[in-house]
Structure 1
């Protein structure tokens, strides 16, 4: 089975906010902050989540002003002409082929169990993300932090446990959790996610990392693999959504997937928010799928985690994912994995009086989308037209659609440069605070003589 056909889907939590949007305010600080939970006991979570308790966990509760999706039989959730998943149901979902051990996509996706702020047994979805620590699971913040009822105090979820490749329909206990249960040791969320405002659920800050403990010295990533994170701020992509929906008509026992095309989505902005989200009308949103991974169809890169959406009141539902952006994933991974090198971009320039070239290299653990590369030419120069490039005169910016870890990408621009002995030009590549050495994000180079 090809990578495209095996990308699978996890349980969705629907958070259709019906209040009017809030205006975005001041820009966030240069380095966004993250908060970390107290140290937890992984073994205590493993002991708590017996197979019986796993089978009786409910989807995470939604804010009071969230509209719960109707059952699949009441209305058409996704119009037939918008269902892209082969063999999908009315909501766009199809079952992942068993056993879930067969592909990285289904192995590294799992069901996340926890006790919420009120002490209720709940579940979301999650995905193993590649890291230097090799113990990190990406999910939604509202799965690991929240309040109990109106006016309650925000607190961390308890007894958090991750079961990769969970199969609630398997005949044996061993097959239900083929890679075991992994208890959480710490949890990391953006400081801007308070868990109090319902708009948090529809903000870019609804993304968290769960650090699980080791099992017999083994790491989670070493056991099942992990998804390469893709730095992005939303946009148009073709993705596969994975997860374990558990609201009716689903029960959270099966891993499901949904093929989707995304578009930018503003949602309900909160104070200090920058960036955007990923929305699709090809997949409905259901409780339990929150935190499930959205993967790029061709590469299987982790582009975002599912966080919110809407019901079918307007004719059909939709789903929203938070991209792995600067102020969401960037904030938490810096705290959760301080030894990891992520957005480590570098650039080298070369050229002649007729063409300049930039070679961009990614030396970090993550891929990056829509990377700007800017050439500044000598006075009196002019840049010509090139695909993916914009600008005029002596300054032009080209955008790299994608660069992967360990990969080098070249971009060239035709130029006209006046006669000079050996004129110089400068090229810069856009990076973030995750880059440990920003000095190599800029290169000044002399052009070869005529």
Structure 2
């Protein structure tokens, strides 16, 4: 039996034998459902009536809406109540320690109010509050934002904001009556100011088919992302408020700004009526090998056992600078100072735990890509290309020459950390590179472009020293890696032939 498997099996055996503390509720199994692990496509909701949702969500119903919960990423201090704890000195634990708060004027969760009116800034206009009737029949809300698409009418949010398993049910159900209100201002005196761009009813929702909504399964998972198509109006939603550019990535390190509408009724500014924001630094999220963290009801596992089941989770971002209440689910994570959408808020610890955190799903080809292909079939997304150029004249032997690789994105997406490879064949040596972060060998450069955007090409250069006794022509090959979202891979590679002379 492989060593890794032995460790995981031993850890599960320890969990099954450990005595449960008294008076603790039963915890759902931590293994994801087998059917969720095998799925990799997308499913859509039945068609809905956008006009009905617009009429349903009156100001009174909006004010009474609760907030969708955040799937927990890990347990807080054992025995600590969700509403906050006290340390030995009698002071309240803060969700984000003061030294980790990056937002100017940020509170104990790292957040501050967005300046009103929300129509003033593009990021505030594009972000909004999403109202819906959940699978249990109750009025609920999440956060959401408009995402760039060919259809110009797509809203991105978390999958648990569109689909869930009601209490007592064995299977999940779609939520109903979606209404997206961009730049929602719950403290405005009139409906016109409260909904400056109107109320947009949902027509259909999409989620990865791996998302089942089962707690202890994939509720806190890379499948927790969704799209909603809003109904038609005189002009598209994207033309009315703008849109964020989806940035393909697998997570990693970014400085991000996030906005949203936490909704704890009666608690300002966390009552769903204010748009809040937070500045954070992200890293690759970590979690258990089996897809979940240890339940709070179990006693602390030995340190060796915990290390054996904790690993990085590609496709997810985590920050310990921001920690927000339920209702912020589905809110956008943007690269600071841009409109590049790198993640959608998915999970976090309960409010009041020390060292609170938040986790977002990255917009990768495996998750976001599967649903956007269904929701926006006319859209071209990850269309990368590369073209090599060099001198038109023969290269003198013993001299150096510079070759330029121009990488372009022709799709609707941006992309982070794009791999580019340059390979040299012939009597010459790569001596320098530029325009990207490269690991250089004598005849090969493995480079990474930090970010690439539509209509903003990136140029990677390679300086080549030609041998004094070179006789055969030199061949330079370039390749840029794209994904299944690229409709054509014919332009992902390029070659250049350089002749030599004395």
| Same fold, TM-score > 0.5, yes or no | yes
Aligned length: 430
Question: CA 1:195/1:312 → structure 2, altered by over 3 Å: closer, same or farther?
Answer: closer
Native 8 Å contact 2:415 2:451 kept in 1: yes
Q: Indicate the residue corresponding to 1:404 in structure 2.
A: 453
TM-score, length-normalised on structure 1?
0.89
Q: Indicate the residue corresponding to 2:135 in structure 1.
A: 117
Q: State how 1:109-188 maps to structure 2 within 5 Å.
A: 109-188=127-206
Question: CA 1:198/1:175 → structure 2, altered by over 3 Å: closer, same or farther?
Answer: farther
**Cα-Cα RMSD:** 2.8
Equivalent-residue separation in structure 1 for 2:221 and 2:290 (angstroms): 6
SS in structure 2 of the partner of residue 267 of structure 1: strand
Q: Indicate the residue corresponding to 1:235 in structure 2.
A: 252
Q: Indicate the residue corresponding to 1:369 in structure 2.
A: 416
Q: Which moved more, 1:279-288 or 1:419-428?
A: 419-428
Q: Indicate the residue corresponding to 1:70 in structure 2.
A: 83
SS in structure 2 of the partner of residue 257 of structure 1: strand
SS in structure 1 of the partner of residue 416 of structure 2: strand
Q: Indicate the residue corresponding to 1:359 in structure 2.
A: 406
Native 8 Å contact 2:165 2:171 kept in 1: yes
Q: Indicate the residue corresponding to 2:50 in structure 1.
A: 42
Equivalent-residue separation in structure 2 for 1:132 and 1:438 (angstroms): 21
TM-score, length-normalised on structure 2?
0.80
SS in structure 1 of the partner of residue 245 of structure 2: coil
Task: From 432, 438, 441, give the equivalent of 2:483.
Answer: 432
Q: Indicate the residue corresponding to 2:431 in structure 1.
A: 384
Q: State how 1:328-347 maps to structure 2 within 5 Å.
A: 328-347=367-386
Equivalent-residue separation in structure 1 for 2:481 and 2:276 (angstroms): 37
Q: Indicate the residue corresponding to 2:14 in structure 1.
A: none
TM-superposed deviation, 1:448: 5.5
Q: Indicate the residue corresponding to 1:275 in structure 2.
A: 314
TM-superposed deviation, 1:112: 0.5
Q: Indicate the residue corresponding to 1:5 in structure 2.
A: none
Native 8 Å contact 1:350 1:447 kept in 2: no
Q: String of CA shifts for 1:377-401, please: whole Å, max 9, x gaps.
A: 1045433354611142422211000
TM-superposed deviation, 1:103: 1.3
Q: Indicate yes or no: 2:260 matched with 1:213.
A: no
TM-superposed deviation, 1:198: 3.2
Equivalent-residue separation in structure 2 for 1:106 and 1:66 (angstroms): 30
Native 8 Å contact 1:22 1:268 kept in 2: no
Q: Indicate the residue corresponding to 2:281 in structure 1.
A: 261
SS in structure 1 of the partner of residue 473 of structure 2: coil
Equivalent-residue separation in structure 2 for 1:136 and 1:27 (angstroms): 25
Question: CA 1:76/1:27 → structure 2, altered by over 3 Å: closer, same or farther?
Answer: closer
Q: String of CA shifts for 1:174-228, please: whole Å, max 9, x gaps.
A: 111111110100101111111124342321111101000012x321111111111
Q: Which moved more, 1:254-263 or 1:71-80?
A: 71-80
Q: Which moved more, 1:414-423 or 1:165-174?
A: 414-423
- Higher relative CO (Cα under 8 Å, sequence separation at least 6) belongs to 1
Equivalent-residue separation in structure 2 for 1:253 and 1:208 (angstroms): 23
Question: CA 1:425/1:32 → structure 2, altered by over 3 Å: closer, same or farther?
Answer: farther
Task: From 91, 111, 114, give the equivalent of 2:109.
Answer: 91
Q: Which runs of 5+ in 2 are unaligned?
A: 1-26, 76-80, 86-90, 292-311
Q: Indicate the residue corresponding to 1:15 in structure 2.
A: none
Q: Which runs of 5+ in 1 are unaligned?
A: 1-17
Q: String of CA shifts for 1:41-81, please: whole Å, max 9, x gaps.
A: 10111111101101111011456998684359942111111
Native 8 Å contact 1:293 1:302 kept in 2: yes
Q: Indicate the residue corresponding to 2:122 in structure 1.
A: 104
Q: Indicate the residue corresponding to 1:285 in structure 2.
A: 324
TM-superposed deviation, 1:423: 1.9
Task: From 216, 239, 256, give the equivalent of 1:198.
Answer: 216
TM-superposed deviation, 1:149: 1.4
SS in structure 2 of the partner of residue 38 of structure 1: coil
Q: Indicate the residue corresponding to 2:444 in structure 1.
A: 395
Query: Which one has a bigger Cα radius of gyration?
Result: 2
